[in-house]
Amino acid sequence: MESDLYGNTMPKDSCFLAFYGQHGLIGKHLKVETLKNASLQDMKAMVQSNIDS
Q: What is the pTM of this model?
A: 0.66
Residue 45: inside a domain, yes or no?
Answer: yes
* Dihedrals phi, psi of 38, to nearest 5 degrees: -80, 140
Residue 23: inside a domain, yes or no?
Answer: yes
pLDDT, tens digit (0-9, with 9 covering 90-100), for 3-49: 888 888 888 899 888 888 778 888 888 999 999 999 999 999 988 88
pLDDT value, residue 16: 85
Single out the residue of 48, 4, 9, 2 nearest to residue 27, CA to CA.
4
Euclidean distance between CA atoms 3 and 12, whole angstroms: 11
Q: What domain range includes position 36?
A: 14-52
Residue 1: inside a domain, yes or no?
Answer: no
Residue 9: inside a domain, yes or no?
Answer: no
- Residue 13 · residue 43 · CB < 8 Å: no
For the chain, the domain total comes to 1
Euclidean distance between CA atoms 29 and 31, whole angstroms: 7
pLDDT value, residue 53: 63
